């Protein structure tokens, strides 16, 4: 760490105290604000994110759901970058830089996904948002790996057994969520032809709209069609990549719990672990529903992404507070 000196009379010098950032994130304030923000998102999710059969999630609530998550990501990016700028931060500063960049990239990916969904009204298997989402996940995993490397804890045999069991569980959940049985795919494939046959045999038949049916896509600009056509062959590989990333996320979360359990500085990483687990649950749920053609943005479980993001912000505030407290005790 570079130390600045102030020169006194006689040529002597003493280290100058580094000034703190203008805004010092209090973990209590961040926690209260985060909980309130999450509860508001959860309240709207209960009221408007659980439509009755035959109904759809209101369009305005879908937009509001993007706002809930977007504001949370911007706040987390800001808090993490404050930690990165603090020389006295307990953990590696690169970790918080990666976490902050992760939230920034996730925010950008949500903007792109929202543009595809709300403006273009299209739902391709792979969109331009997917590469950005993948980058955000890689940044998060990289930060978690750096945290484990800095910990330098030698795990016991039973702990390796627990991690192996977690990995097996992750592989199994990834398999059943993202890759449904052939019977489910066949049933989904024959649904549309059956409906078309009924309508053809009786043109006067009126089919009630089904919320699970895919929304008719509007005509899109040529560049959008070109991007979708270019990314379409990578749909299977992208789904597999998401599954692998989620498995790694689950394994790293379990390893963080075992490595940081107990001790003065464990609170930050326990919160990070809970945030990562909520992110994993939300991802598995999304993969399960999307693979069966029933995903609709704005559902109640979408609030898991909001709560996960909020917890990353609380972890950043805790790390800042612990670092400042340790510095004051040393002074």
Tokens of 4: 């600045």
Average pLDDT over residues 109-126: 91
CB contact burial 273-294 (16+ within 10 A = b; e otherwise):
bbbbbbbbbbbbbbbbbbbebe
According to the model, what pLDDT value does residue 14 have?
42
CA distance to 18, 150, 273, 282, per residue, from 141 (Å)? 31, 14, 12, 16
Does residue 88 carry a pLDDT above 90? no
**Helix pair angle (266-291, 235-260), 10° resolution:** 150
pTM of the model: 0.81
Summarised one tens digit per residue, pLDDT across range 222-280 is: 998 999 999 999 988 998 999 999 999 999 999 988 888 776 668 899 999 999 999 99
Rounded Cα distance, 25 and 108, in Å = 24
According to the model, what pLDDT value does residue 326 have?
77
Average pLDDT, the chain: 81
Average pLDDT over residues 162-175: 91
Q: Where are the domains of the chain?
A: 35-186+236-326
CA 155 to chain centre: 28
Q: How many CB atoms lie within 10 A of CB 305?
A: 23
Asked if 49 contacts 61 with a C-beta cutoff of 8 angstroms, the reply is: yes
Average pLDDT over residues 97-120: 95
End-to-end CA distance of the chain: 16
Does residue 198 carry a pLDDT above 60? no
Looking at per-residue pLDDT, the higher value among 86 and 213 belongs to: 86
**Exposed / middle / buried, residue 54 (Cβ in 10 Å: 0-12, 13-18, 19+):** exposed
- Which CATH fold would you assign to the domain 35-186+236-326? Rhopdopsin 7-helix transmembrane proteins (1.20.1070)
Handedness of CA 94, 129, 248, 41 (dihedral sign): positive
Average pLDDT over residues 138-147: 95
Looking at per-residue pLDDT, the higher value among 79 and 53 belongs to: 79
Output the CA torsion 85→91→93→99 (10° steps): -100
According to the model, what pLDDT value does residue 294 have?
67
Average pLDDT over residues 119-135: 91
Average pLDDT over residues 174-184: 74
């Amino acid at each position: 760490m570079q130390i600045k000196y102030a020169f006194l009379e006689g040529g002597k010098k003493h280290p100058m105290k580094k000034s703190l950032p203008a805004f010092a994130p209090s973990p209590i304030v961040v926690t209260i604000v985060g909980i309130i923000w999450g509860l508001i998102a959860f309240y709207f999710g209960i009221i408007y994110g659980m439509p009755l059969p035959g109904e759809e999630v209101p369009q305005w609530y879908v937009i509001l759901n993007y706002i809930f998550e977007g504001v949370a990501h911007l706040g987390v990016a800001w808090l993490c970058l404050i930690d990165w700028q603090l020389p006295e931060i307990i953990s590696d500063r690169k970790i918080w830089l990666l976490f902050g960049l992760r939230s920034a990239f996730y925010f950008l990916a949500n903007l792109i996904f929202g543009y595809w969904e709300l403006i273009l009204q299209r739902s391709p298997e792979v969109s331009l948002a997917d590469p950005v989402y993948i980058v955000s996940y890689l940044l998060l995993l990289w930060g978690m790996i750096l945290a484990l490397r800095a910990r330098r804890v030698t795990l016991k045999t039973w702990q390796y057994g627990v991690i192996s069991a977690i990995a097996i569980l992750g592989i199994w959940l990834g398999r059943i969520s993202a890759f449904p049985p052939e019977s489910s795919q066949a049933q989904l494939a024959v649904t549309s032809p059956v409906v078309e046959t009924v309508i053809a045999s009786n043109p006067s038949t009126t089919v009630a709209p089904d919320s699970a049916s895919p929304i008719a896509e509007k005509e899109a600009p040529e560049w959008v069609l070109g991007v979708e056509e270019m990314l379409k062959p990578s749909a299977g590989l992208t789904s597999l990549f998401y599954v692998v990333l989620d498995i790694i996320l689950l394994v790293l979360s379990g390893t963080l719990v075992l490595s940081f359990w107990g001790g003065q500085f464990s609170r930050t990483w326990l919160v990070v672990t809970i945030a990562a687990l909520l992110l994993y649950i939300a991802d598995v749920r999304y993969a399960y529903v999307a693979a069966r053609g029933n995903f609709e943005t704005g559902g109640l479980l979408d609030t898991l992404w909001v709560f996960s993001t909020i917890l990353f912000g609380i972890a950043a505030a805790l790390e800042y507070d612990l670092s400042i407290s340790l510095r004051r005790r040393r002074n």
